[in-house]
Amino acid sequence: MESLFFISINNYRTTAGKTVSLKLSYQTFGPALGNAPVVLVNHALTGNSSVTGESGWWNTLIGKGKCIDTNFYTVLAFDVPGNGYDGNSDNLIDDYKQFKARDIAAIFALGIDQLQITELYAAIGGSVGGGLVWELAALRPKLIRKVVPIACDWKSTDWLIGNCLIQDNILNNSSNGLADARMHAMTLYRTPESFKHKFNRTLKQPGLYNVESWLDHHAKVINDRFQIAAYKMMNQILKTIDITEGGDNFLRVAEQIESEIHIISIDSDLLFKAAENRRTYTELNKIRGDVTFNEIKSIHGHDAFLIEYKQLQKIFEPIFRIHDLGLLDQKLKAS
């Protein structure tokens, strides 16, 4: 964590009316800010700002010579406030229900301002990170050239909200809340077909199925590296994605976004259903022509955006073509 930096966000008023001051942590990879187009990468629920490097959770796709090439792009990644990655318990957030996804996007926007970034070449993220991409695009419709939300949508559906409530109840009521919530979540991140493919009712030892051992392992890992306050906060953000803020018309909000929009769905996703993403794409095509839709084919469900790297790379290639950067430079100089 030697490259973790901090921005002070003072007296931010949440949508629920609470005034907070906090430290926003972030990392950058590739050329120094101001020397290359910036790609913002948002992490998922148990992720963090370490998106590349030896332990980076997306280092298959981001790095020198890789699809998002840090020879040519500056990659910026924030930690969602309260995710606990900085190791400072003082920065954990107890009153997590005072925050919504819109607040996190607004805090990211304030951080971008303090870093004196006036344009993002792209903003990309999976799951709740992709939801925050939608929120940032709605909040700052001129900021991002390419919006790339993956395994998410512009809103949390009733199905997702219901499952987030179950997660919240487990976290608050179970004697082993963090581990139990993680085991429940892992069954939603995958699919029955994925479990059959991986385990096929095999035994780890007499009386213990491999699927049980696998879930126990993930429960132990989350207990070792995560904190329950962080899980509660991230679950709350996942529950509250909604670029219309519960009232406005989606197309009226979306038509203000000046970015290209590249929607990436997963055909077997149980959390953010592919049908919802296709509906979003169909609706957007009624009002604009700069929207694409790609679907990852996988038996592995929601987690496929962390598994199906070859498919993601193929989808990313036209979005992050290096030769387009010359055209971008010409446009910037012309403007």
Final residue of a structural domain among 236, 257, 279: 236
Beta carbons of 260 and 146 less than 8 angstroms apart: yes
How far, in Å, CA of 145 to CA of 126, rounded? Answer: 18
In this structure, the answer to whether residues 97 and 59 fall within a common structural domain is yes
In this structure, the answer to whether residues 14 and 80 fall within a common structural domain is yes
In this structure, the answer to whether residues 192 and 139 fall within a common structural domain is no
In this structure, the answer to whether residues 261 and 147 fall within a common structural domain is yes
In this structure, the answer to whether residues 255 and 131 fall within a common structural domain is yes
Task: State the pLDDT at residue 326.
Answer: 63
Q: In one letter, which amino acid is 11?
A: N
Q: Which residues contact 327 (CB under 8 A, 6 or more apart)?
A: none
Burial of 227 (0-12, 13-18, 19+ CB in 10 A): middle
Q: Which residues contact 223 (CB under 8 A, 6 or more apart)?
A: 178, 179
DSSP secondary-structure letter at 155? B
Q: Residue 118 has which token pair?
A: 């006036």
Q: Which residues contact 8 (CB under 8 A, 6 or more apart)?
A: 21, 23, 24
Closest CA to 100 of 197, 225, 237: 237
Total domains in the fold of the chain: 2
In this structure, the answer to whether residues 163 and 303 fall within a common structural domain is no
- Quote the domain boundaries for residue 324: 5-157+242-334
Buried b (16+ CB within 10 A) or exposed e, 232-269: bbbbbbbbbbbbeeeeeebeebbeebebbbbbbbbebb
Q: For 250-275, what is each residue's pLDDT tens digit?
A: 999 999 999 999 999 999 999 999 99
In this structure, the answer to whether residues 31 and 67 fall within a common structural domain is yes
Final residue of a structural domain among 179, 207, 236: 236
Q: For 10-50, what is each residue's pLDDT tens digit?
A: 999 999 999 999 999 999 999 999 999 999 999 999 999 99
Length of the chain as a residue count: 335
In this structure, the answer to whether residues 153 and 295 fall within a common structural domain is yes
Q: How many CA atoms lie within 13 A of 22 on its CB side?
A: 30
| CB atoms near residue 21 (< 10 Å) | 9
Task: State the pLDDT at residue 332.
Answer: 47
Beta carbons of 152 and 128 less than 8 angstroms apart: yes
Task: State the pLDDT at residue 331.
Answer: 47
Which phi and psi (to 5°) does residue 119 adopt? -150, 140
How far, in Å, CA of 264 to CA of 318, rounded? Answer: 13
In this structure, the answer to whether residues 219 and 260 fall within a common structural domain is no
In this structure, the answer to whether residues 277 and 252 fall within a common structural domain is yes
| Distances in whole angstroms, Cα of residue 314 to Cα of each of 187, 192, 289 | 28, 27, 21
Final residue of a structural domain among 207, 236, 265: 236
CATH number at residue 196: 1.10.1740.110
| Distances in whole angstroms, Cα of residue 16 to Cα of each of 62, 100, 152, 189, 294 | 36, 8, 24, 30, 35
Sign of torsion, CA 215 272 170 21? Answer: positive
In this structure, the answer to whether residues 146 and 29 fall within a common structural domain is yes
How far, in Å, CA of 234 to CA of 257, rounded? Answer: 25
Q: Where are the alpha helices (DSSP H) in 174-297?
A: 177-189, 192-198, 210-225, 228-239, 250-254, 274-285
Q: Residue 40 has which token pair?
A: 């913002």
In this structure, the answer to whether residues 53 and 185 fall within a common structural domain is no
Q: In one letter, which amino acid is 210?
A: N
CATH number at residue 9: 3.40.50.1820
Q: For 105-137, what is each residue's pLDDT tens digit?
A: 999 999 999 999 999 999 999 999 999 999 999
Mean pLDDT for each consecutive 10-residue tract of the chain (335 residues)?
Answer: 87 96 97 97 97 95 96 97 89 94 98 98 98 98 98 97 98 98 98 98 98 98 95 98 88 96 98 97 95 98 97 96 64 48
Task: State the pLDDT at residue 89.
Answer: 82
